[in-house]
Amino acid sequence: MEESSLDSKEYKKYHCVKCGKTWGEGDDSYSYGLCLECFGDYINVKKVSKGQVPCFGTFNNNSEICNSCKWNKFCKEFYDKCKGE
């Protein structure tokens, strides 16, 4: 049986450049990025500096603002994750 699935991509372990948290599984090849929490902080700081409401992480499916927000994909991910824990 052969399976050529796109799901078979290898997951790596990531380190957050800000808080040092790690996520992901697999080889620890010291890939760096911002974890979802630090990313959220970063976006909210940016929003405040533009005079906007720091609403990242409060995703609302029925909100026009949320659905047209350019961060909504990440916001939803953050929201879902925090809600699930």
Considering the complex, state which of residue 39 and residue 59 has its C-beta at the smaller distance from Zn ion.
Answer: 39
- Considering only CA atoms, which of 66, 14, 67 is closest in space to residue 36? 14
Contact positions with Zn ion (CB under 5 A) in 38-57: 38
Q: Which of 11, 19, 53, 65 binds Zn ion (CB under 5 A)?
A: 19
Among all chains, which residue has been given the structure tokens 């500096």? 49
Binding segment (CB under 5 A) for Zn ion, from list 1-9, 28-36, 51-59, 74-82: 28-36
Q: With contacts defined by CB under 5 A, how many residues of the chain interact with Zn ion?
A: 6
| Region for 32 from its dihedrals, namely left if φ exceeds 0, alpha if ψ lies in -120 to 50, beta otherwise | beta
